[in-house]
Amino acid sequence: MSDPQAYTVGWICAIPTELAAARTFLETQHPAPESVAQNDNNSYTLGTIGRHNVVIAVMPKKEYGIAAAAIVARDLAHSFPNIRIGLMVGVGGGVPSQQHDIRLGDVVVGTRDAGKGGVVQYDYGKAIQNQAFVETGSLNQPPPVLLNAVAALETEYMMQGPELDSKVEKALTPWKRLQKTHSRPPASTDRLCKPDFTHPLDSSAPCSQTCHANNANMVSRVERGEHEDNPAIHYGLIGSANQVIKNAEIRDKLSAEKGILCFEMEAAGLVNHFPCLVIRGICDYSDSHKNKEWQGFAAMVAAAYAKDLLHQIAPTSIKAEKPIGEGVRDLKLSKAEDLSTARNPHFVVPFPSDPHFVSRPDIWAWIEMQYSGPESRFALVGLGGFGKSQMAIQFAHRLHATSPKTSVFWVRGSTRATFEESYRSIADVLALPRRHDSDLNVLVLVRDWLQREDVSPWLMVIDNADDIQMLFSKNDNETYLSYLPKRENSKILITSRSWDAADKLTGNGRMIFRVPIMEEAQALQLFQTKIGRDVNEAASLRLINTLDYVPLAVNQAAAYIYKRSPRVTIESYLEEFRNSEERKGTLLRRDTGDIRRYEGVSNSVVVTWQVTFEQIKREQPRAASLLSLMSHFHAQNIPDYMLYNYNSSNRGMESDDEYEETRDEDFEDDLDVLRGYSLVTMTAAPGLLEMHSLVQFCTKVWISKFGSPGPWKTLFLQSASQHFPSGVFETWQQCQTLMPHIQPLLDKQPSEERDQLEWSQEHPSTLTSMNNMASTFSKQGRWKEAEELFVRVMEMNKRVLGEEHPWTLTSMGNLASTYRNQGRWKEAEELFVRVMETWKRVLGEEHPDTLTSMNNMASTYMNQGRWKEAEKLFVWVMETRKRVLGEEHPDTLTSMGNLASTYMNQGRWKEAEK
């Protein structure tokens, strides 16, 4: 008998194990139907139980979940139009509690409780984020004919006992092979672990060998007595979602909130449109200790209960129900939305592979190691233009070529809008049901689908995930971070400019690779490949060195030269780049276009990095201030002690100690931000920082365009003046460190006198730094360099302050000393005389500065062997200092020593000795 019109009971199983159990309880089995409805791909088993003709359908291999069940039910109702009631029979995960002593092999029947209709659909994704229980569907209760039968059977069991054990044993008698897989396992294997004890992730051994060995990990339970039902039947709510629960704490949380007795994955797809009763045999405890040892027996006891239930129902009661096909039409699942499309591997990457890709072996090896490792998320972090996205694009294409059964999805994570649009694209490619429903959150839909166990493995690339505020902003009461799927054997690769963002996304700093600039050979290969012809290697090396080996800058320069060749050569480009900062800025702003970048997003170095600068300014303005100050230093070996005053304008009323403590903490926080964005790095030497010179330049361009560079230049000059030492031997190392930072200031001095006047007035600290540097050169014997600086300081002081100002006279004296040290006696004498006479006129003959100048003049005479003139001046200086300063003053004693040296040089030993 296989007339489709004759069958009134639909029985749906999720897996072959459940179908095998169902077939053992058929009292007679009918031939398969000769034909089914068009586009129905279900496989059916037909037979009788009691006085009912039953059709049993199983879901396709490895297709689980709510939507898959709905498709099976829809097609069943089309092929067997007279089906009036349905049964969803199979296995589930039990939820033991103090109120419900649920054990493996027991049966849970989905019945009305707390106003719910037997099945509660919940959002597992929200549950794992430690949020409250979230119901996502209003599910109907089973039809009255089934509920009445449940009540009648409960009464019969109450009086006679269910005796499901013996019924299972009898049903298996003719099926010798099934006895190995579907018989009741030993009672010793039914052990309940404590909720906070999880199965070791690195162990493939069964729980009996690992978890059950220590009783401290087990929940103590009393064995069931002789007169207690075993298996027992439980009546109440069943939780249904698209993902298996393997977490005891979440299991208990959901149970406590809603009184759920069992979890499964299919029923919510049926009960609103396919009037059915859900019957589940308990095969595990919905925790990390899940295994399949009890699955066969659990399927058997559920099927045994279903058979007993059907014997409680009269055929006339079923005929009174409406055909299920009328309700199934409301499922609105078209063939175009068949889930087989979603399960197939997909490649959703918006950029083509680069045929001229330059491999970076250390980064590539790290990506491959993380992809094959145990962690599910890993990240590439680096400044924009360093090659993070290009590495991700290439890896995605390589994975697609070598692992065609693995899906690859690309998500643009820069803004909420791009994130959501990427998820919509994924939903469309997968043809996910209900993706166009206005009241459905597509982020949840895609996340939950990718978390399914029956979906092919996948790699998701989250590109440009730079904005922490965006990641933690909320959509529909959930953060965007929570929409990232979690699934075994699938990975998420993140690219970000922000270490902090990557750290939040991966949850583990060890899973982050900081992408550096290219090695010289790699940058040269990139340049030569992009320029597309043989080039002068020496000139190419000079250019890529000037570009700091930054991939984007190298690519940009190559594209510009290639486009304008032969009028523009490598040498002419390099000359333009080096000779004019204005021209340098123009070249770095040029957008050459790239098909491996997002539409509307510039690929110029300046614009790319300004995005990062603006983000830092929004997130932590102090860090942007620190970056602005650092941009005025030389790129290498920036002393951290010269940077602390970058935020001094915000000083409050706290004490000096409190201010310094707060200042130091703020500095470290802000430095961490800049390091997190790969703008600043620590050198091997403690206390010294460094930046890429291109980063510095682009920072200055950004400041000039969107802010005011003047205050930062002034702050730098003040710091340089404050910290540059006078040049004594003990500070030479410090001078050596600071000289590269001061030298560019000297090179930028205006040539026009009018401009020099303005320049020196606005930057008085520069003159102090120049003077200190000149003193250092002088003490190191670098006379030419000292002379050049002392002349410049003297001339500017003359113009700005006048010839008789103390600073001017001091600079003249310093220059005269430099002449003297070179043996240029005449030039030294002329200057010393002018200084001495001016001091006399302005300050008087007995002023300490006048006496110092006279002492310098006397030393000049002595160095020339003009003993009489030297002696006369030394005596006068010594006697005046005795009278003015006292005989024991250091300056007086110096004068005595100078006079004694004069006597010694003349051979007047007795006078020198006195």
Average pLDDT of span 40-47: 89
Among 22-36, 311-325, 595-609, the range of highest mean pLDDT = 22-36
Q: What percent of the chain has pLDDT over 90?
A: 25
Instruction: Lowest mean pLDDT of 302-306, 598-602, 645-649, 846-850, name the range.
Output: 598-602
Given this model, what pLDDT does residue 181 score? Answer: 94
Say if residue 520's pLDDT is above 80: yes
88 bridge partner residues = 12, 278
Tokens for 846, please give them: 């007995």
Whether domain 4-196+227-328 has CATH 3.40.50.1580: the reply is yes
564: amino acid identity, one letter: R
Say if residue 457's pLDDT is above 70: yes
Instruction: Lowest mean pLDDT of 171-185, 385-399, 725-739, name the range.
Output: 725-739
Q: For residue 303, what pLDDT band results from cuts at 50, 70 and 90?
A: very high
Given this model, what pLDDT does residue 334 score? Answer: 41
Task: Show me where the domains of the chain are located.
Answer: 4-196+227-328, 343-514, 520-603
769: amino acid identity, one letter: S
How do residues 541-572 score in pLDDT, each as one tens digit? 998 888 888 888 888 888 888 878 888 888 88
Q: For residue 751, what pLDDT band results from cuts at 50, 70 and 90?
A: very low
Given this model, what pLDDT does residue 782 score? Answer: 72
Tokens for 212, please give them: 């059950």
Exposure string of 629-640, with b = 16+ CB inside 10 Å and e = fewer, is: bbbbbbbebbbe
Given this model, what pLDDT does residue 478 score? Answer: 78
Instruction: Lowest mean pLDDT of 45-59, 331-345, 348-362, name the range.
Output: 331-345
Average pLDDT of span 846-869: 71
Given this model, what pLDDT does residue 206 score? Answer: 62
Average pLDDT of span 719-727: 59
Say if residue 653's pLDDT is above 60: no
Q: For residue 601, what pLDDT band results from cuts at 50, 70 and 90?
A: low
* Secondary structure of 394-453 in HEC code, one letter for each residue: HHHHHHHHHCCCCEEEEEECCCHHHHHHHHHHHHHHHCCCCCCCCCCCHHHHHHHHHCCC
The HSE-up count of residue 516 (CA atoms within 13 Å, CB side) is 12
Given this model, what pLDDT does residue 364 score? Answer: 95
* Contact status, residue 585 vs residue 606, Cβ threshold 8 Å: yes
Given this model, what pLDDT does residue 657 score? Answer: 58
Distance CA 87, CA 94 (A): 19
Helix (H) or strand (E) run with residue 262 in it:
strand 260-264
Given this model, what pLDDT does residue 200 score? Answer: 58
Asked whether the CA dihedral 618, 623, 626, 631 is positive or negative, the reply is negative
Given this model, what pLDDT does residue 143 score? Answer: 84
Radius of gyration for the chain, computed over Cα atoms and rounded to the nearest angstrom: 43
* Contact status, residue 234 vs residue 106, Cβ threshold 8 Å: yes
Average pLDDT of span 709-714: 73
Given this model, what pLDDT does residue 757 score? Answer: 44
Say if residue 129's pLDDT is above 50: no
Given this model, what pLDDT does residue 291 score? Answer: 73
3-class DSSP assignment, residue 130: coil
Average pLDDT of span 93-99: 89
Select from 370, 356, 340, 418 the least CA-distant residue to 62. Answer: 340
Greater model confidence, 45 or 757: 45
- 4-196+227-328 matches 343-514 in fold: yes
Looking at the domain that runs over 343-514, which CATH code has it been given? 3.40.50.300
Q: For residue 336, what pLDDT band results from cuts at 50, 70 and 90?
A: very low
Residue 633, C-beta contacts closer than 8 angstroms, at least 6 positions apart: 642, 696, 716, 741
Average pLDDT of span 878-892: 73
Sheet holding 688-690, edge to edge: 638-639, 688-690, 681-682
Given this model, what pLDDT does residue 194 score? Answer: 83
901 bridge partner residues = none
Among 33-42, 378-387, 448-457, 897-906, the range of highest mean pLDDT = 378-387
Given this model, what pLDDT does residue 667 score? Answer: 85
Greater model confidence, 729 or 641: 641
Pairing mode, strands 28-30 and 377-381: unpaired
289: amino acid identity, one letter: H
Instruction: Lowest mean pLDDT of 421-435, 613-627, 900-914, name the range.
Output: 900-914
Given this model, what pLDDT does residue 592 score? Answer: 61
Given this model, what pLDDT does residue 167 score? Answer: 96
Tokens for 104, please give them: 């493996």
Tokens for 285, please give them: 């405890």
Greater model confidence, 268 or 543: 543
Phi and psi torsions of 376, nearest 5°: -90, -15
Q: What percent of the chain has pLDDT over 70?
A: 75
Given this model, what pLDDT does residue 213 score? Answer: 59
- Cα of first residue to Cα of last residue in the chain, in angstroms, is 141
Q: For residue 532, what pLDDT band results from cuts at 50, 70 and 90?
A: confident
**What is the number of helices (H) and of strands (E) in the chain?**
37, 22
Given this model, what pLDDT does residue 64 score? Answer: 62
Count of residues making up the chain? 914
Given this model, what pLDDT does residue 870 score? Answer: 67
Select from 785, 660, 664, 788 the least CA-distant residue to 735. Answer: 785
3-class DSSP assignment, residue 483: helix
Q: For residue 48, what pLDDT band results from cuts at 50, 70 and 90?
A: very high
The HSE-up count of residue 577 (CA atoms within 13 Å, CB side) is 27
Greater model confidence, 908 or 798: 798
How do residues 196-245 score in pLDDT, each as one tens digit? 767 655 555 566 556 665 677 778 888 888 888 999 999 999 888 766 67
Q: For residue 7, what pLDDT band results from cuts at 50, 70 and 90?
A: very high
Asked whether the CA dihedral 733, 738, 744, 745 is positive or negative, the reply is negative
Given this model, what pLDDT does residue 1 score? Answer: 56
Greater model confidence, 835 or 81: 81
Instruction: Lowest mean pLDDT of 340-344, 528-532, 542-546, 851-855, name the range.
Output: 340-344
Residue 873, C-beta contacts closer than 8 angstroms, at least 6 positions apart: 854, 855, 857, 858, 861
Given this model, what pLDDT does residue 127 score? Answer: 42
Q: For residue 750, what pLDDT band results from cuts at 50, 70 and 90?
A: very low
Average pLDDT of span 845-873: 71
Given this model, what pLDDT does residue 511 score? Answer: 95
Select from 909, 809, 804, 796 the least CA-distant residue to 852. Answer: 809
Mark residue 332 as left, alpha or beta (left: phi above 0; alpha: psi -120 to 50; beta: remaining).
Answer: left
Given this model, what pLDDT does residue 752 score? Answer: 47
Say if residue 844's pLDDT is above 60: yes
Q: How far is CA 277 from CA 80, 120, 285, 345, 464, in A?
A: 18, 13, 22, 35, 48
pTM of the full predicted structure?
A: 0.56
Q: For residue 726, what pLDDT band results from cuts at 50, 70 and 90?
A: low
Q: For residue 772, what pLDDT band results from cuts at 50, 70 and 90?
A: low
Average pLDDT of span 747-776: 54
Question: Across all residues in the chain, what is the average pLDDT?
Answer: 79
* Contact status, residue 292 vs residue 283, Cβ threshold 8 Å: yes
Residue 34, C-beta contacts closer than 8 angstroms, at least 6 positions apart: 2
How do residues 788-816 score in pLDDT, each as one tens digit? 777 777 777 777 677 767 777 677 777 77
Tokens for 874, please give them: 């030394």
Q: For residue 397, what pLDDT band results from cuts at 50, 70 and 90?
A: very high
Given this model, what pLDDT does residue 25 score? Answer: 96
